[in-house]
Amino acid sequence: MSKAKKVPANIVWFEIPADDPARAKKFYSSLFGWKIKAFPGMADYWHIDTGGGDESPDGGLMRRMHERQPITSYINVPSISRAIAKVERLGGKVCKGRTAVPQMGWLAICRDTEENEFALWEVDKAAK
């Protein structure tokens, strides 16, 4: 009998939407000392290095896609598919289903019972 891989449900990434990314970059860099640089291969997306150790999540800064877009936290799960099913079973909603981030993993955007958005993240280097 094989044991299921134990993955802590930690926040592993966050995204900050901005109307003016340059202004937001200046604000967060000045406020927290975060280093924010262009993310290779992605237009209008910047990597936020929070300066913490491996247990401290980094994030992304992106151009806002809709008016009420919140900061999104990505929570590590062992299986996107099982987590999506559980979100729905508990009364939440899936806003964006299982989506590959090539050679990194899978994401899904969900909404809880209080209308808060969050993202699920499954590490998978084979994702395409």
Superfamily of domain 8-70: 2,3-Dihydroxybiphenyl 1,2-Dioxygenase, domain 1 (3.10.180.10)
- pLDDT the model gives residue 109: 97
Considering only the C-alpha atoms of the chain, give the largest distance between any 2 of them, rounded to a whole number of Å.
54
* C-beta separation of 58 from 66 below 8 A: no
Confidence of residue 67 (pLDDT cuts 50, 70, 90): confident
The pair of structure tokens assigned to 42 is 């992605």
Architecture label for domain 77-128: Roll (3.10)
- H helical segments located in 33-104: 80-89
Q: Is the pLDDT of residue 127 over 80?
A: yes
Q: Is the pLDDT of residue 1 over 60?
A: no
- Topology agreement, domain 8-70 and domain 77-128: yes
Where are the chain's structural domains? 8-70, 77-128
Q: Is the pLDDT of residue 2 over 60?
A: no
Query: What average pLDDT does range 54-59 have in this prediction?
Result: 87
Confidence of residue 4 (pLDDT cuts 50, 70, 90): low
Strands (E), the chain: 11-18, 35-38, 45-49, 58-63, 72-76, 93-101, 105-111, 117-123
CA neighbor of 28 nearest in space, from 52, 57, 61: 61
Full-model pTM:
0.84
